[in-house]
Amino acid sequence: MDLAAILSALAMGVLEGLTEFLPISSTGHLILLGSLIGFEGPPGKVFEVGIQLGAICAVIWIYRDLLLRLVSGLWRPGQERYYAVNLILAFVPAAIIGATLHKTITESLFNPWVVSVALIVGGIAIILIERTRPSPSIHSVPEIGPVSALLVGFGQALAMIPGTSRSGATIITALLLGVDRKVAAEFSFVLAIPTMLAASAYSLLKVRHEISADGLGQVGIGFVTAFVVALLTVRWVLTVISRIGFTPFGWYRIAIGTLMLAWLALH
* In the predicted structure, residue 27 carries a pLDDT above the cut 80: no
What is the Cα–Cα distance from 259 to 34, expressed in whole angstroms? 16
Mean pLDDT in residue range 83-95? 93
At residue 112 the predicted structure's pLDDT band, cuts being 50, 70 and 90, is confident
Task: Give the per-residue pLDDT at 41.
Answer: 67
Residue 113 pLDDT > 90: no
Tell whether the model's pLDDT for residue 93 goes beyond 70.
yes
The confidence band for 115, taking pLDDT boundaries of 50, 70 and 90, is confident
Specify whether the CB–CB gap between 41 and 12 falls below 8 A. Answer: yes
Average pLDDT of span 127-154 = 93
The helix-helix angle for 181-206 and 64-73 (nearest 10°) equals 80
The model's pTM: 0.88
pLDDT at 213: 65
In 3-state terms, what secondary structure has residue 60?
helix
